[in-house]
Structure 1
């Protein structure tokens, strides 16, 4: 995203803003944890004022509603990032694998997560491995005695 862009997360009450901040994600975002039954209207309003809208619909979405929201996002220049099933999506992202780097055979420190993501759909499809952004801190872990 461009410098100064805003994002919104909607329909994800479990979204952890603190975890996102610790992962190096700037918190210039809005959070609508539970948009309610009129969520398409709320998402349309967010599309009008935010650069990126991540939405998890509360249930199955009709192709008509999906098409209207996608058209509105295209018209406004907003990135619409649906989480879960979305009819006729341009690109579908799927996590292929996830692992931690740095942990050896019973020793070492977790340094960063490595996630492989596969993209399918119109445009460019393929796989990409995404490490934690360079220079970002690993998550804080509390020590616990195991025995």
Structure 2
């Protein structure tokens, strides 16, 4: 996956296109973080505009994610153990660091380009880590 997310924008349910949050910010004068929040939470802006995050995934990646079992206890333990400054390797082999923890999401920033950031749920980040470990084990065995 890429760190650059596209967001679909709907005007009263009619799709208007796909753009990055920065492009929507410039076109609609909506803060980028608000666009991410609206997409994540399923809310509408001014009871008119709705956003949906679009990610490019391979079919192989989807099946691997579905096969990974995560219990509620695993998720709680992961949330407790995750610290600001924790480093991860993002799925496109980009190294990222945790800069903020929120109630339901984590903000990650690229180490190579600090201007590039992405927000993920704790579940998405944990699934990604489990899949990485599984791929490593499969490649060794």
**What is the TM-score normalised by the length of structure 1?**
0.23
Structure ranking higher in helix proportion: 2
Greater radius of gyration (CA): 1
